[in-house]
Amino acid sequence: MTDLDAVRARATELLREHLGDGSWTFAFDHAKTRAGQCDFARRRITVSRHLAARFSDDDVEQVLLHEVAHALSGARAGHGPTWRRTAARLGYTGSRLHDGPIASELAPWVGTCPAGHEHFRYRTPTRPLACARCGRRFDERNVIAWQRRATPTATADLRNRVEGAPVTR
């Protein structure tokens, strides 16, 4: 687990080192399905506080390098060759997307299709959805049954740790 103060300090150090003019800032956000973001309009790099709280120091370093590479490469670079060269030069070695389990751990809605595939949502499902793993098009036979789950202790502990509240048992 990573200390959020250490993440902030490292982010500030990387911004100063690579984007030295002081026009870029760092902040935490509340994203649950992406690790970081480079906001060109605000000239700000953010990292998910939920993911940072459970990532290793090395993983957080990779997220920060990923986003700094975006800032250096420019808004139009995407994950193309310019960004890849810049990221490699900075020492970035990870993949371009986070695919960790945090999204499913914090999602309040869990759905199951008739074949047993699990699906997760953060907002209340408002219309019928069919399992994409069972069929490429909407099919009534693959409709997902949604259920709001009770907050398990592990998830409550994670939320408390991320939000700075004491963990109680």
pLDDT of residue 123: 85
SS3 of residue 161 by DSSP: helix
pLDDT of residue 32: 80
Mean pLDDT of 6-35: 92
From CA 112, how far away is CA 149, in angstroms rounded?
Answer: 12
Q: Of 43, 59, 90, which closes a domain?
A: 90
Q: Is the pLDDT of residue 138 over 60?
A: yes
Parent domain of 142: 102-150
Cα three-residue angle 2-159-101, rounded to 5 degrees = 70
Residue 55 in domain:
yes
- What integer best gives the mean pLDDT of the chain? 85
Q: Of 68, 90, 112, which closes a domain?
A: 90
Residue 12 in domain:
yes
CB-based contacts of 128, cutoff 8 Å, min separation 6: 138, 143, 144
Q: Is the pLDDT of residue 99 over 80?
A: no
Contact present, 4 and 22 (Cβ < 8 Å)? no
Q: Say whether both 113 and 146 belong to one domain.
A: yes
Mean pLDDT of 101-114: 80
Residue 159 in domain:
no
pLDDT of residue 96: 52
Residue 169 in domain:
no
Residue 165 in domain:
no
pLDDT-derived band at 105, boundaries 50, 70, 90: confident
Q: Is the pLDDT of residue 157 over 70?
A: no
Q: Say whether both 86 and 111 belong to one domain.
A: no
pLDDT of residue 54: 82
Count up the domains in the chain and report the number.
2
Residue 16 in domain:
yes
pLDDT of residue 150: 84
